[in-house]
Chains A and B, each alone.
Chain A
Amino acid sequence: MLIYDIRFLFIYMFFVGNLIFVSKNKHLLVVLLSLEFIVLSIFFFFLVLLMFIDYDMYMLMVFLVFSVCEGSLGLSILVSMIRSHGNDYFQSFSML
């Protein structure tokens, strides 16, 4: 892939993460992993952006805290789903 600029890498990572999120998977955990991959791409992007503002990385830490909170919320929903359905397959959704 031709990279003229570092921003193409971030867009590529972001796009791949979204692609895995919307693809048909068997497990829910793959979807949560793709969310974490998008978070990783945003982390990298944030890092490069903030390097141009005299290495001011505090916002990056705040972003990291919120993303970790969201990831743990996803995992707790996964645990709740396994407790009630027994597995994390998407095929066990039949109600709605």
Chain B
Amino acid sequence: MFFFILTNNNSNKMFFLFILFFSTLISISSNSWFGCWIGLEINLLSFIPLISNSKNLLSVETSLKYFLTQSLASINFLFMILIKFSLLKNFNMNNIISIMMNSSLLMKMGSAPFHFWFPNIVEGLSWMNNFMLMTWQKISPMILLSYYFNKNFLIFMIIMNLIIGSLGGLNQTSLRKLLAFSSINNLGWMIFSIMISENLWLFYFLIYSMMIFMMISLFFLMNMYFMNQLFINNMNFFIKLNLLINFLSLGGLPPFMGFMPKWIIINFLLINKFYFLTFIFMMTSLIIIYYYIRIIYSSFMFNYFKMKWVNLLMKNNMSLINLSSFISISSMILSTFIFM
């Protein structure tokens, strides 16, 4: 991603990227809620120049929608901070004020029921900006959520996230929107993991962002934005294999890397007898795997075109993607060697 920014004469984007990283650190490491709000504001201020280049109409509309939702959410967050401060009692976490604060943080993340801006904006951004939006922008609202959350409210939000993320992706043809709904579904898993422990959230988040990075790198190198580009082109077999591995890993199937964090969360759920929640987690995962397999199936077997005038080769810079696919397959086995 950095090579992409450096080669396009975009040195001012490096500046805004640095401020973006720094704003998340400000927000996480502050010792008052006001410092958290400042971090969120700087995050918004530095992300908008990254996504708006004035070369087409779409990016203006995208940056406008992003700005409106995020600024509303952060202003509401500040107001709820002030109300919490003025009430002078902070002992109980399960009250109305925590619902309002969590709602504004969920709106910043793009979680259901405040998710309607998220597939729209993802449709208008390039792949690298999507990567930033889906991974880095989720860190600081998540950690702020872990500081003061309402357990019952968040469990209800998790269920909505899972259901909307799985059912919303069924009728999509755009790859970006597909990954957006998959991101909403994974957000449900991540919110639950942050309620368990922050280390578990970090583990889930790192593996999720690695998987998303592999997928987005693959789509970025092949310049693919829609699903019909996956099976019309004359792709090399190994590119299709890479795609298969990455999609199944993202869906959470067992031999791949994406299964590991989900396994730990299901383990926790079953030990603590959250049976209904386990059921919802499982069923929505199945729906997601269904629409991933639908894409891969038509790419591999069903519409097996090999058009001779379009020829997608394995390019020179695909060694990183091949290495990461190898890690996807073998990491479950290799991770058992850690404790030897």
Contacts and interface: CB of A to CB of B under 8 A. Distances in A.
Interface of A: 7, 11, 14, 18, 21, 28, 31, 35, 38-39, 41-42, 45-46, 49, 59, 62-63, 66, 69-70, 73-74, 77, 80-81, 83-85, 93, 95-96
B40 to A, nearest CB: 10
Contact of A7 (B61, B64, B86): B86
B48 A35 contact: no
Interface in B55-113: 56-58, 60-65, 67-68, 71-72, 74-76, 78-79, 82-83, 85-86
B234 interface: no
A70 B54 contact: no
B113 to A, nearest CB: 14
B124 interface: yes
B135 interface: no
Contacts of B68: 31
Interface of B is mostly: helix
B79 A14 contact: yes
A92 to B, nearest CB: 9
Contact of B63 (A31, A35, A59, A77): A77
A48 B235 CA distance: 65
A12 B333 CA distance: 58
A8 B35 CA distance: 26
A95 B61 contact: yes
Contacts of B44: 70, 73
A45 B79 contact: yes
Contacts of A42: 75, 78-79, 82
Nearest to A76: B48
A41 B44 CA distance: 21
B233 interface: no
Given A39-B75, A69-B45, A84 B63 contact: no
14 contacts: A14-B79, A35-B75, A46-B82, A63-B78, A66-B37, A66-B38, A70-B74, A74-B71, A77-B64, A84-B60, A85-B57, A95-B57, A96-B62, A96-B123
Nearest to B72: A21
A65 B131 CA distance: 30
Given A35-B75, A70-B45, A84-B56, 18 more contacts: A28-B64, A38-B79, A42-B75, A45-B79, A45-B86, A49-B85, A49-B86, A73-B44, A73-B45, A73-B48, A74-B71, A77-B60, A80-B63, A84-B57, A85-B57, A95-B57, A95-B58, A96-B121
Chain A contact residues: over half helix, strand or loop, or mixed? helix
B320 to A, nearest CB: 32
Nearest to A39: B75
B34 interface: yes
B173 to A, nearest CB: 15
B229 interface: no
B75 A96 contact: no
Counting chain B CB atoms within 10 Å of each CB, the highest count among A31, A49, A95 belongs to A95
A33 to B, nearest CB: 13
Contacts of B60: 77, 80-81, 84-85
Interface in B18-69: 34, 37-38, 41, 44-45, 48, 52, 54, 56-58, 60-65, 67-68
Nearest to A82: B60
Q: Which residue of A49, A63, A66, A74 has the most chain B CB atoms within 10 A of its CB atom? A: A66
A9 B48 CA distance: 33
A35 B71 CA distance: 8
B72 A35 contact: yes
Given A49-B82, A66-B38, A73-B67, A93 B48 contact: no
